[in-house]
Structure 1
Amino acid sequence: MVSANCSTEDSFKYILYGCTFSMVFVLGLISNCVAIYIFTFTLKMRNETTTYMLNLAISDLLFVLTLPFRIYYFAIRNWPFGDILCKISVTMFYTNMYGSILFLTCISIDRFLAIVHPFWSKTLRTKRNAKIVCVAVWITVLAGSMPASFFPSTGTRNDTGQNTCFENFPDTTWKTYISRIVIFIEIVGFFIPLILNVTCSTMVLRTLNKPVTLSRNKLSKKKVLKMIFVHLVIFCFCFVPYNVTLILYSLMRTQIWINCSLVTAVRTMYPITLCIAVSNCCFDPIIYYFTSDTIQNSIRNRSKVIGIYLFAVL
Structure 2
Amino acid sequence: MDLRNTTYISIQANCTVDTSYRFTYYKISYSMIFIFGVISNATALRRFCRIPRMFTSTAVYMANLAAADIFFVISLPLRIYYYHKAAAISNRTNDWSPGSAFCQLTFTLKYISLYGGIFFLVCIGVDRYFAVVHPLHQHLRKVRTARMLSVGIWCLVLALSLTLPLLYSAASRWHKSCLLDPSSKRDSTIILTALGLVQIAYLLPALLLLFSYCSILRVLRSLPHRRKIRHRRTLTVIYWVLVVFFLCFTPYHLNLLGYTLTQVGLVRSCGLAQVTKVLHPIMLSLASTNCCLNPLIYYFSSSLVHKETAGSRGSASQ
TM bucket (normalised to shorter chain) is 0.7 to 0.9
Give the secondary structure class of the aligned counterpart of 1:194: helix
Distance 1:170 1:124 in 2: 44
CA contact (8 A) 1:87 1:153 kept: no
Q: Give the CA deviation at 1:116.
A: 0.5
Paired residue for 1:44? 53
CA contact (8 A) 2:47 2:299 kept: no
Residues 174, 131 of structure 1: CA spacing in aligned structure 2 closer, same or farther, 3 A cutoff?
farther
CA contact (8 A) 1:8 1:264 kept: yes
Give the secondary structure class of the aligned counterpart of 1:257: coil
CA contact (8 A) 2:69 2:113 kept: yes
2:28 alignment partner, one of 16, 19, 22: 19
Give TM-score scaled by structure 2 length: 0.83
1:287 alignment partner, one of 297, 307, 310: 297
Which piece of structure 1 moves more, 196-205 or 140-149? 140-149
Paired residue for 1:169? 182
Correspondence 1:177-196 to 2 at 5 A: 177-187=190-200, 189-196=201-208
Q: Give the CA deviation at 1:166.
A: 2.6
Residues 100, 174 of structure 1: CA spacing in aligned structure 2 closer, same or farther, 3 A cutoff?
farther
Q: Does 1:128 align with 2:141?
A: no
Distance 1:294 1:44 in 2: 14
Q: Does 1:71 align with 2:80?
A: yes
Q: Give the CA deviation at 1:3.
A: 1.0
Identity %: 33
Unpaired segments ≥5 residues, structure 2? 1-9, 90-95, 308-318
Residues 67, 152 of structure 1: CA spacing in aligned structure 2 closer, same or farther, 3 A cutoff?
farther
Correspondence 1:298-309 to 2 at 5 A: none
Unpaired segments ≥5 residues, structure 1? 158-162, 298-314
Paired residue for 1:255? 265
Instruction: Tell me which stretches of 4 or more aligned residues in structure 1 moved more than 3 Å.
Output: 33-43, 78-81, 152-157, 212-215, 294-297
Distance 1:32 1:43 in 2: 19
Residues 37, 152 of structure 1: CA spacing in aligned structure 2 closer, same or farther, 3 A cutoff?
farther
Residues 106, 174 of structure 1: CA spacing in aligned structure 2 closer, same or farther, 3 A cutoff?
farther
Paired residue for 2:5? none
Q: Give the CA deviation at 1:55.
A: 0.6
1:147 alignment partner, one of 163, 180, 190: 163
CA contact (8 A) 2:263 2:273 kept: no
Paired residue for 2:313? none
CA contact (8 A) 1:35 1:57 kept: no
Q: Does 1:54 align with 2:63?
A: yes
Amino acid at match of 2:226: S
Q: Does 1:87 align with 2:98?
A: no
CA contact (8 A) 1:112 1:201 kept: yes
CA contact (8 A) 2:108 2:161 kept: yes
The number of equivalent residue pairs is 288
Give the secondary structure class of the aligned counterpart of 2:286: helix
Distance 2:59 2:130 in 1: 15
**Residues 252-276 of structure 1, C-alpha deviation per residue, up to 9 Å, x if partnerless?**
1221011111111111111111110
Which piece of structure 1 moves more, 256-265 or 167-176? 167-176
Residues 296, 13 of structure 1: CA spacing in aligned structure 2 closer, same or farther, 3 A cutoff?
farther
Distance 2:279 2:245 in 1: 18
Q: Does 1:278 align with 2:288?
A: yes
Paired residue for 2:315? none
Paired residue for 2:246? 236
CA contact (8 A) 2:31 2:80 kept: yes
CA contact (8 A) 2:171 2:184 kept: no
Amino acid at match of 2:112: T
**Residues 167-199 of structure 1, C-alpha deviation per residue, up to 9 Å, x if partnerless?**
263514651322211201211x21011111111
